[in-house]
Amino acid sequence: MKSKYKILIKILSITIFLLGVVSIYVYWQVIGDNETYILPNGYKGAVTVIFNREEGQKPKYEQGKRIYEIPSNGVLITQFSPNEGWHKPAQYFYKKGDELIEIPNDYDKSETNTNVLKACCTSIGVASKYPHNEQVTYNVSYVGTNEDIHSIFENGKEPFPPDLIK
């Protein structure tokens, strides 16, 4: 009877220990903010967000999500710092008057139909340009059909963020 209690206590101790380790691991993980991009109605092309700029748009949140209101040129300069950590894939919307129209996010790049409008291909980076070598942290994603997006790359029209700031 005593050996059953000893085994039970060992199992319980190990379980509590493992729960503690998992809890500490989860606690120390970086959790980012979910993001919403609001684009002008009908916009197609590169969507660039340049971070950590004093002259940029002030951070805006709605329902706990970062809101990036993209201007008509596709370039948002913001005071937000980069969104590091785990978060859901970004949501993209066209703004038509007061209405928001969702743009599907093909974050896994699985959509092969070239006529389907989507947001995709988000990447984050740091770039600088001679002579000042000021580092610019940014992310860029693309909105359009596969054909629209491929033409940006084929025509060498990918944005270079240091050229986008004054």
One domain, residues 112 and 155: yes
DSSP state of 56: S
Question: Distance between CA atoms of 17 and 2, rounded to whole angstroms?
Answer: 22
- Least confidently predicted of 12-16, 38-42, 45-49, 74-78: 12-16
State pLDDT tens for residues 53-96.
999 999 999 999 999 999 999 999 999 999 888 888 899 999 99
Helices (H), the chain: 2-28, 146-154
CA torsion 99→100→101→104, rounded to 10°? -170
One domain, residues 52 and 108: yes
One domain, residues 1 and 48: no
- For residue 10, the enclosing domain spans 1-30
* Beta strands at 61-62 and 91-96: parallel, antiparallel or unpaired: unpaired
The pTM of this model reads: 0.77
One domain, residues 84 and 148: yes
Residue 110 zone, left/alpha/beta (φ > 0; ψ -120 to 50; rest): alpha
State pLDDT tens for residues 97-153.
999 999 998 765 555 666 788 998 888 888 887 777 788 899 999 999 888 888 887
One domain, residues 43 and 14: no
Domain count along the chain = 2
One domain, residues 22 and 94: no
Q: Give the tokens for residue 122.
A: 């988000």
* Beta strands at 45-50 and 136-144: parallel, antiparallel or unpaired: antiparallel
Give the model's confidence band at 28: pLDDT under 50 very low, under 70 low, under 90 confident, else very high. low
One domain, residues 112 and 39: yes
One domain, residues 150 and 136: yes
One domain, residues 1 and 20: yes
